[in-house]
């Protein structure tokens, strides 16, 4: 839009703006309404912003009375003299190009017609139709070569010229007979340059469907085709044109993206009038691509200023190719270049982060006064030293991006990740990690017994009872919960849905559907307790297949569909750490080699995260923690193979950091998997000594608290133990108020031989925003609740398979 404003249509269909607020680049969201669907492009004509949706509809941005921007549908309306044959209001657009004077937009429709929009208030639409026997696939030049003259590429790959003042208006440019093979042009935006082969010459650079560069040159009223080819082994997919008015060295340059994600610079030296028919000397300079990322295929770059070009990347981020020292994340618009200034044309890459809609980490700007203000940035009024500020800026520009590695490459420290290492799952692995699943907070949760029975613990009319859900095969675990439907896996690895059909409950076999697979795991958590999930048309649940690949199962609107997302090269996935809880559109997984990977649902790409050799993750699920829903700051908590707790933390200034929390004591290890988190500051884990430990944040520092396990002696005596470093601090609570909740044990030594009140390794589940359900070693369940800002054991729950407590209600679900 301007040197200080760049609007981006992301691969996710979102729209966001990169704006220079005078201090730094900030990001503002401008998404279309949900009913409009995904956006594919944005235009500005006569100071009016328009956006096109994937369905081909146009929207105009307007301001409300409160000066809030909103999108309003902008419907093409033609006058009576228009060539429109059908006045169907639902005209669907496919692409558009803005004229150089920014007063017109030319559109292609999905049925192959050429439309023109001149002005917006009032709008004037003109339908120019299409060539005889052909349809318009792309507008390659919008009146740049000559005013009023357009060049288009047809669906068949032919070049047409349109001039409404001439007869006939459409002219086809015939391919030269001198070429060995037929020229079939690709429907991409092209580049127009003047004066290459003479003072009055014009050139139109186009790409073929085979990825070669051709020039259609007009000189002395004669058209000719010139073949420029491509770099050896690199088919071309897009052209970015650098004209003389923004060129550093006063030369005509083309920057071209290849099918492999490389960016090549093609310099075209001027040819004198006397040598206009000689072959052009070709100069191909490979700028490659940013480290651990590649340029997006088929999308041209955007000229910001002389020596600064922005390219979209295939992983959803942006990158700036700029002259060394004259661009990047922390540099705003540059002053104009001096023609006398000698600059060495050395280009370097700088990565630019994208917002969470693309699966990345850029925060949106805010209304608060400060450097991230959406309109005008102001410096933080802190006592931070200048050296500290510069250090933070350096980390933001480089270190943050270094944590994302291509899975096929070794880690940055030169140590291979043992990607092909096999991992054998222990017995009852699924049952241990997916034995319990919350259905509805404070109302219902499910339990899968070791023998494969499915039970639901349900509160109906203030009475708790157990319901048994019959199925012909034994179940292994509950892998997910979506919109009232439960996803379970049976002993054969089949994914089953337990859902309500009319007034009855039904089973649906998902593995028997088209492209269905057998599964061994799913996401550890469904929703944050206390928060109502927002249903989206792209909602899906991810599972791990028996072969170690990631599977996506679409569930929105019950339009079930399987998709194989594969796995990182030579790596089998062990379990899912988190699905879109920590970062939208991102699934974090741990490989069989104990390393952390992520899958981007939008770009369908895998990344490996930088990880020291000594940090080997256990193959169990993890827990995501966000400080607040409006902030991207947060952490992933996982267990290490040696039984310690590790945190993978994200901060906007620090980037990603690994933090080892170790264990509460040197003689205990953490087992199973990390439990639920609450408030972004409390995490529950289970230890080998049968106790529950709370890892909580207190005044900026992490501390351990021993919550023990629910037995009468513990509750009646000392209660909680708070651990600070190697010293132990005891807090004594009265057990009188809680003693009646637990069964009375007259003599611990003579207690029921079937009772073992210590906590098992089964992964616990949240029951509400202040309650957690654990399984005990004797098969009972126990609830740990927050009472007056303290976590205390509140009750035990007898189960149908536990011999320790026989008093329970059971009923058979139909």
pLDDT tens track for 670-680: 999 999 999 88
Pairing of strands 58-63, 69-73: antiparallel
* CA distance linking residue 194 with residue 202, whole number of Å: 4
Phi-psi region of 159 (alpha: psi -120 to 50; beta: other; left: phi over 0): beta
Pairing of strands 682-687, 677-678: antiparallel
Residue 535 near residue 527, CB atoms below 8 Å: no
pLDDT value of residue 712: 58
Tokens in use for 749? 């030594």
**Which long-range contacts link 135-139 to residues 24+ away (Cβ below 8 Å)?**
135/111, 136/108, 136/109, 136/112, 137/108, 137/112, 137/187, 138/95, 138/108, 138/187, 138/188, 138/189, 139/95, 139/96, 139/97, 139/106, 139/107, 139/108, 139/114, 139/189
* CA distance linking residue 139 with residue 124, whole number of Å: 19
Domain layout of the chain by residue ranges: 190-315+318-352, 429-813
Is a pLDDT exceeding 60 seen at residue 391?
A: no
* CA distance linking residue 207 with residue 225, whole number of Å: 12
Contacts of 159 (CB under 8 A, 6+ apart): 140, 151, 152, 153, 172, 173, 185, 206, 216
Is a pLDDT exceeding 90 seen at residue 661?
A: yes
For domain 190-315+318-352, the CATH class is mainly beta
Is a pLDDT exceeding 90 seen at residue 241?
A: no
Is a pLDDT exceeding 90 seen at residue 456?
A: yes
Contacts of 88 (CB under 8 A, 6+ apart): none
- The Cβ-side half-sphere exposure at 297, using a 13 Å CA radius, reads 10
pLDDT value of residue 448: 95
| H-helix or E-strand spanning residue 385 | none
pLDDT value of residue 337: 56
Backbone phi, psi, residue 423, to 5°: -130, 125
Share of the chain above pLDDT 90, in %: 52
Tokens in use for 622? 């993890």
Is a pLDDT exceeding 60 seen at residue 379?
A: yes
Which tens digits make up the pLDDT trace of 495-549? 999 987 777 889 999 999 999 999 999 999 987 655 666 778 889 999 999 999 9
- Whole-angstrom CA distances from 351 to 317, 396, 606 are 8, 10, 18
Output 175 or 528, whichever has higher pLDDT. 175
pLDDT value of residue 101: 80
Is a pLDDT exceeding 90 seen at residue 668?
A: yes
Closest to 532 measured CA to CA, from 485, 486, 483, 577: 483
pLDDT value of residue 194: 82
| H-helix or E-strand spanning residue 388 | helix 386-394
Q: What is the 8-class DSSP label of residue 532?
A: P
Is a pLDDT exceeding 90 seen at residue 726?
A: no
Backbone phi, psi, residue 721, to 5°: -125, 120
Rg (CA), the chain: 32
CA-based torsion, 385, 390, 391, 392: positive or negative: positive
| 429-813: in CATH 2.130.10.10 | yes
pLDDT value of residue 192: 86
Residue with tokens 């790959």: 157
Is a pLDDT exceeding 80 seen at residue 179?
A: no
Which tens digits make up the pLDDT trace of 403-441? 777 775 444 444 334 444 555 677 788 989 999 999 988
Output 217 or 387, whichever has higher pLDDT. 217
Phi-psi region of 811 (alpha: psi -120 to 50; beta: other; left: phi over 0): beta
Pairing of strands 677-678, 48-53: unpaired
* CA distance linking residue 633 with residue 649, whole number of Å: 8
Average pLDDT over residues 685-689: 95
Same fold, 190-315+318-352 and 429-813: yes
* CA distance linking residue 285 with residue 264, whole number of Å: 5
Closest to 587 measured CA to CA, from 574, 576, 575, 571: 576
pTM score of the predicted model: 0.87
Confidence tier at 611 by pLDDT (50, 70, 90): very high
Confidence tier at 245 by pLDDT (50, 70, 90): low
Which tens digits make up the pLDDT trace of 48-80? 899 999 999 999 999 888 888 899 999 888 875
Which tens digits make up the pLDDT trace of 187-212? 988 888 887 777 788 889 999 999 99
pLDDT value of residue 328: 85
CA-based torsion, 20, 21, 22, 25: positive or negative: negative
pLDDT value of residue 761: 94
Count, in order, helices (H) and strands (E) of the chain. 4, 60
């Amino acid at each position: 839009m301007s040197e200080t404003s760049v609007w981006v249509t992301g691969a996710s269909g979102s729209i966001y703006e990169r704006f220079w607020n005078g201090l730094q680049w900030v990001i503002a969201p401008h998404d279309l309404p949900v009913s409009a669907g995904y956006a594919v492009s944005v235009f500005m004509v006569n100071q009016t912003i328009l956006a096109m949706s994937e369905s081909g509809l146009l929207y105009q941005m307007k301001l409300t009375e409160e000066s809030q921007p909103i999108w309003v549908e902008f419907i093409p309306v033609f006058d009576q003299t228009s060539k429109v044959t059908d006045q169907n209001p639902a005209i669907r657009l496919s692409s558009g190009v803005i004229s150089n004077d920014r007063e017109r937009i030319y559109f292609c429709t999905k049925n192959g017609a050429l439309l023109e929009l001149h002005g917006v208030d009032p709008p004037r639409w003109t339908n120019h139709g299409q060539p005889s026997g052909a349809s318009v696939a792309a507008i390659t030049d919008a009146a740049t070569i000559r005013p009023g003259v357009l060049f288009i590429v047809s669906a068949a790959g032919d070049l047409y010229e349109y001039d409404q003042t001439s007869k006939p208006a459409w002219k086809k440019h015939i391919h030269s007979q001198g070429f060995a093979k037929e020229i079939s042009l690709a429907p991409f935006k092209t580049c127009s340059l003047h004066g290459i082969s003479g003072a009055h010459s014009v050139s139109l650079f186009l790409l073929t469907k085979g990825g070669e560069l051709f020039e259609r040159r007009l000189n002395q009223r004669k058209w000719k085709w010139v073949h420029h080819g491509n770099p050896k082994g690199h088919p071309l997919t897009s052209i970015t044109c650098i004209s003389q008015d923004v060129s550093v060295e006063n030369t005509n340059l083309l920057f071209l993206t290849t099918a492999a994600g490389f960016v090549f610079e093609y310099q075209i030296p001027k040819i004198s009038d006397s040598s206009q028919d000689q072959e052009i000397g070709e100069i191909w300079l490979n700028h490659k691509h940013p480290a651990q990322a590649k340029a997006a295929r088929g999308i041209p770059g955007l000229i910001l200023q002389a020596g600064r070009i922005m390219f979209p990347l295939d992983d959803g981020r942006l990158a700036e190719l700029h002259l060394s020292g004259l661009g990047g994340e922390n540099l705003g618009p540059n002053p104009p270049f001096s023609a006398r200034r000698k600059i060495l044309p050395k280009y370097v890459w700088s990565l630019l982060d994208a917002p969470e809609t693309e699966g990345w980490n850029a925060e949106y700007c805010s209304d608060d006064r400060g450097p991230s203000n959406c309109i005008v940035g102001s410096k933080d009024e802190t006592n931070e030293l200048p050296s500290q500020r510069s250090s933070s800026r350096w980390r933001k520009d480089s270190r943050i991006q270094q944590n994302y590695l291509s899975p096929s490459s070794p880690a940055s420290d030169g140590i291979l990740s043992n990607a092909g290492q096999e991992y054998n799952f222990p017995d009852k692995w699924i049952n241990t990690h997916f034995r319990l699943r919350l259905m509805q907070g404070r109302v219902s949760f499910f339990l899968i017994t070791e023998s494969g029975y499915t039970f639901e613990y349900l509160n109906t009319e203030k009475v708790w009872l157990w319901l048994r859900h019959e199925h012909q095969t034994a179940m292994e675990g509950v892998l997910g919960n979506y919109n009232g439907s439960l996803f379970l896996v049976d002993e054969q690895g089949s994914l089953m849905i337990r859902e309500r059909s009319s007034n009855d409950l039904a089973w649906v076999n998902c593995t028997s559907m088209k492209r269905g697979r057998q599964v061994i795991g799913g996401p550890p958590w469904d929703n944050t307790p206390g928060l109502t999930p927002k249903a989206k048309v792209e909602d899906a649940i991810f599972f791990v297949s028996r072969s170690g690949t990631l599977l996506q199962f679409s569930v929105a609107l019950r339009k079930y569909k399987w998709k194989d997302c594969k796995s990182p090269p030579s790596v089998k996935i062990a379990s899912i750490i988190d699905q879109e809880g920590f970062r939208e559109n991102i699934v974090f997984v741990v490989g069989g080699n104990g390393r952390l990977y992520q899958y981007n649902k939008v770009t369908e790409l895998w990344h490996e995260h930088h990880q020291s050799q000594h940090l080997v993750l256990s193959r169990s699920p993890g827990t995501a923690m966000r400080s607040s829903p409006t902030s991207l700051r947060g952490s992933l908590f996982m267990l290490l193979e040696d039984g310690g707790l590790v945190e993978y933390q994200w901060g906007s200034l620090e980037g990603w950091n690994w933090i080892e929390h170790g264990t509460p004591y040197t003689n205990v290890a953490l087992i199973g998997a990390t439990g639920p988190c609450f408030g972004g500051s409390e995490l529950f884990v289970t230890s080998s000594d049968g106790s529950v430990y709370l890892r909580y944040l207190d005044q900026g520092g992490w501390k351990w608290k021993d919550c023990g396990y629910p037995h009468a002696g513990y509750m009646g005596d000392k209660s909680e133990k708070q651990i600070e470093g190697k010293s132990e601090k005891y807090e004594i609570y009265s057990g009188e108020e809680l003693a009646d909740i637990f069964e009375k044990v007259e003599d611990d030594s003579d207690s029921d031989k079937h009772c073992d009140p210590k906590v098992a390794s089964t992964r616990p589940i949240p029951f509400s925003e202040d309650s957690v359900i654990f399984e005990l070693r004797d098969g009972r369940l126990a609830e740990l609740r927050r009472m007056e800002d303290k976590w205390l054991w509140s009750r035990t729950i007898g189960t149908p398979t536990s011999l320790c407590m026989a008093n329970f209600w059971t009923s058979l679900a139909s």
